[in-house]
Structure 1
């Protein structure tokens, strides 16, 4: 996408972003075949042709990034951004997996460099790649706190 593009959101298949079978219930998604996805992500490539040089910036999102926003692991100063990301996550968690969800630009995080992009993707890189499991742990603790107790 060109840096000066007016595009504010992208319609992504829900199954791409929804968690895999092993994580679906632990992340608060519907543990039925409709709630299961591939636990994939989306790379957004922004480019700008400036002074005869092509400048490229990578952005990324997946279910862990969306949950990181929800759990305040990642925070934005703009309250409106938080609202659109929360609405995106709510939409992702509801209804059929073969539908699409509008993923706003605010739901993407910028990768500092190629190693950081690889880390965001969960691939081998020189950058720290433990961030997904921090988000997973925070989200999982929040779900456990909301489970009903048996009164014992």
Structure 2
């Protein structure tokens, strides 16, 4: 029974490696479709809160990968605060404290849902979060429908913005978006993708007017169109 095998605690490392190899293949395939290459590195020791480094030759994006089976009840994960905080030069642009305490490594969290039965893995679903997605939630650009999680997001962001980089923080799927594909995940993470629409740059440039409520209808629509093109999440409403 494959689903039972994957769910057993003694096979946790096997399951994680299986998902890693799947993810690595999809990343390489996606980069090739964009006429690019993304190099993948894995640190020997997970001391900074990430499992994987994606390097396109111009920038490096650290990622933490988590997995769970569709039959699992646990939907919470623990990450380092620094993983989800922006780089020093982007702190003020995204509403974070411009100090060593406020900055981070501007990485991302990838959560992979494995849908399996007794005979095979039927599919994978990819969920993603980073400081851009989180501030999009916080600013109201994207919300759950109905929106029961505003207090959750507010509390999460308050905890994320305080304390040291290596302090731990619990995150749930309320703080993530389900992406359509790895092409879309890479686009949101700022990596080469055939679906790249400069989401990060567009959001960063519009963040303060969005928070102040002074953003124009056209600019907000452009942001929501970009984000909507990358997510396939019936839990969410964008706009």
The one-character-per-residue Cα deviations of 1:32-64 (angstroms, maximum 9, x if unpaired) are: 111110000010011011373311011000000
Q: Are 1:84 and 1:104, in contact at CA under 8 Å, matched by a contact in 2?
A: no
Where does structure 1 lack aligned partners over 5 or more consecutive residues? 146-152
Q: Distance in 2 between matches of 1:127 and 1:81?
A: 29
Task: Please give the TM-score of this superposition, normalised by the length of structure 2.
Answer: 0.56
**Matches for 1:3-152 after TM superposition, within 5 Å:** 3-50=70-117, 52-54=119-121, 55-141=123-209
Distance change >3 Å, CA 129–CA 4, structure 1 → 2? farther
- The total of aligned residue pairs comes to 145
Where does structure 2 lack aligned partners over 5 or more consecutive residues? 1-67, 214-239
Q: Secondary structure at the match of 1:75?
A: strand
Larger relative contact order (Cα-Cα within 8 Å, sequence gap ≥ 6): 1
Tell me the residue number matched to 1:148.
none
Decide which structure has greater helix share: 2
Distance change >3 Å, CA 74–CA 142, structure 1 → 2? closer
Q: Distance in 1 between matches of 2:204 and 2:140?
A: 12
Q: CA RMSD in A?
A: 1.9
Q: Are 1:122 and 1:129, in contact at CA under 8 Å, matched by a contact in 2?
A: no
Q: Secondary structure at the match of 2:86?
A: coil
Of structures 1 and 2, the larger Rg is shown by: 2
Q: Distance in 2 between matches of 1:129 and 1:120?
A: 9
Q: Are 2:132 and 2:200, in contact at CA under 8 Å, matched by a contact in 1?
A: yes
